[in-house]
Amino acid sequence: MNTFKTGLLLTALTLLLVLGGRAFGPNGMAFGLVLAVFMNGTAYFFSDKIALAASGAQPVSREQAPRLYSVLERLCGKASLPMPKLYLIPQAAPNAFATGRNPQHASVAVTAGLLELMNDEELEGVIAHELSHVRNYDILTTSVAATLAGAITLIAEMGRWAMIFGGYGSSRDDDRGGGGLSALLMLIVAPIAALLIQLGISRQREYAADAAGVRMVGHQQGLISALQKLGAYNKKIPMDVSPATASLYIVAPLSSGQFLTSLFSTHPPLEERIAALRNMVVTR
């Protein structure tokens, strides 16, 4: 169901791109799409290095984190995944993320606080969630969504400048046909709609990773308990996280004084994620 919803949202983004192209002209759509593909393609191939560097993550050896390695190896064996690279983030707030364009180029990073505060069952739930992102190729999915949303935003930006200099909506024919009005509406509405759809895709991938992680482990108790702890401690201990990489974490890290509404969040509310996990039927 989550995969179906993600497909619908990607389709909506594509339709929005087509409508934007019709409003501002095919050349605008082509230019916006090409530029967005280039920008997000670069991010896609180097996202792991960017995210790890931005978080201050450092590679960790088996000797330095034997418990983490043991959990990771066991889950990779169950999921038939290659062993990802492991990193430790020197921050007290418990959190974790996975990155990499495919399972062969994956990395998993956890904070020092996560290792300190989670028991083995909770740690297993968190790592299974992150490995599910890797197995589901979520970096690819979110990169496609970012490309489409970026193209829509670029087209709207081009339309904004074109309107300032009289390039769109100025002809009498366009006024009679409503072309100027439709372009104006697309200029205002399309970027907001694209952002909301992109965030919706991100939230669906979190639900999917929760469910896949639970199936990987065989029960939901560990992940439920981990999410409860993550929510409680991340309210108490702010994280120093770049906004560009915040969406990667298993729970949205909040800086001191920061407030995010659910509408503009990359993650579903923790209460809803936990409720969905409680309602899962897991066959062993």
Q: Respond yes or no: is residue 73 known to be catalytic.
A: no
Cβ neighbour number for residue 125 with a 10 Å cutoff: 27
The Cα 187–Cα 180 span in angstroms is 10
Question: Of 130, 206, 271, 272, which one is the catalytic site residue?
Answer: 130
**Strand, coil or helix: what is 110?**
strand
Most distant pair of Cα atoms in the chain: their distance: 74
Buried b (16+ CB within 10 A) or exposed e, 181-220: ebbbebbeebbebbeebbbbbbbbbbbbbbbbbbbbbeeb
The Cα 56–Cα 280 span in angstroms is 36
Do residues 23 and 55 lie in contact, with contact meaning Cβ atoms separated by under 8 Å? no
Between the alpha carbon of residue 50 and those of residues 46, 70, 170, the distances in Å are 6, 27, 43
The Cα 264–Cα 143 span in angstroms is 18
The Cα 48–Cα 30 span in angstroms is 28
Between the alpha carbon of residue 72 and those of residues 76, 114, 128, the distances in Å are 6, 14, 8
User: Where are the strands (E) in 40-104, listed by range?
Assistant: 58-59, 85-89, 96-99
CA of residue 131 relative to chain centroid, distance: 14
Query: For residue 109, what is the enclosing H or E element?
Result: strand 107-111
**Strand, coil or helix: what is 130?**
helix
- Give the catalytic positions in this structure: 130
